[in-house]
Amino acid sequence: MKHWLNRTVLGIGLASLFADIGHELATCAMPALLASLGGASAALGIIEGIADGLASFAKLLSGVYSDRLARRKPLAVLGYVMTASGMASFALATQWWHILLGRTAGWLGRGVRKPVRNVLLAEATTPETYGRVFGFERAMDCAGAVIGPSMAIYLIHTVGLKSLFALTLIPGLAAAMCIAFLVREKPHTLQQDRKLSLSLYVLPREFRQFLLGVGIAGLGDFSNAFLILWATQAFTPHYGLETAASYAVLFYIGYNAIYMVSCYANGLLADRFSKKWVLAIGYSLAVIPAAALMVPGDSFVKFAVVFAASGWYMGVWETVESSTAAMLLPSDVRGTGFGVLATVNGIGDLFSSIIVGALWVISPVAAMGFVMAASLIGAAIIARTHPITMQLAPGESPGANG
């Protein structure tokens, strides 16, 4: 069997590392900037929801369009450049809606690049190693999410918030260069005459069933920026805004360290056991941080449970969703399929962030009750789907059944 860690997989992994350093530098400092501009949970919900919602359409169009391109890679490079520019624009923000514009631009770029990146990743290896390959990419992404916030703790106190955001442009552009110079793209069958509606129609039935469970569970997948905001707000009365933000970022670093381990560990599990059960259990684990957030108080123990449990279950979600999709999708509609998956996730994020942000203002218990219900229903749907039937492209060999 060909070794799975080749030049393309490594290049995409490094791109995810650098992109997430820049992204997390901006994300972990964004709640403090928003708070300084008078924003709150509702404003953050609007920002995250609108950005994710608009990006979802970019993911769908990018995925479908990439199946019609002889070369997908330039589209991915463009997406990384857009994300880097959007995050850096926070340095110019003076009103909360300026953050909305920058976040939306950055997330549109993320939407453009994500389906293409996943297709390039799937076509660089074999089905037997999809779990490890997607787990490696997510682990590299998480490594960036540890490095970025660690840098943010230092930069917040040295260069200040605005200069920090400007510096995010450096790792963001480095990510685009990794894709441009390291990734090798394989030829694929073009779908120039296929309409969008037909492209969606030819997606495998098992994949469409899988999307239903993903979509329901996604309604409970609110932005992790909320965790940073809520921790910052809880700690501020005792420690002041800057120190509280630093403590929140430290918890977020722990979140990403656990996320990194979870991605690779659950990628290995997905290559050895039933993917639908690994994913269903991962969805169910969302009840742990939700229940902890229902508990009143601002103790470090409470937030340690919240961040740690969130990091572990998110590692399951993102790794196993992608590796399962890669096994279900034929090569000629992989771009479309990954675009649809990303769109379903984006729509879930849109409604989840807006609903959870609004409900939290009214009642944290109601907000977390909604999250728990959505996660458990999604888990039940995934667990009750028919056994996954792999859809292989010519020349591909079967791996472990899901």
Q: Is residue 160 part of a domain?
A: yes
Say how many domains are in the chain. 1
Q: Is residue 193 part of a domain?
A: no
Ranges of residues in the chain with a pLDDT under 50 are 1, 387-402
**Within a domain: residue 1?**
no
- pTM across the whole model: 0.66
pLDDT, residue 391, reads 40
- For residue 96, the enclosing domain spans 7-183+204-383
Q: Identify whether 199 is part of a domain.
A: no
Q: What is the predicted pLDDT for the residue at 15?
A: 93
Q: Is residue 398 part of a domain?
A: no
CATH code of 338's domain: 1.20.1250.20
Q: CA-to-CA distance for 106 and 102, rounded, in angstroms? A: 6
- 240 in a domain, yes or no? yes
30 is a domain residue:
yes
Residue 168 lies in a domain: yes
At 402 the pLDDT is: 43
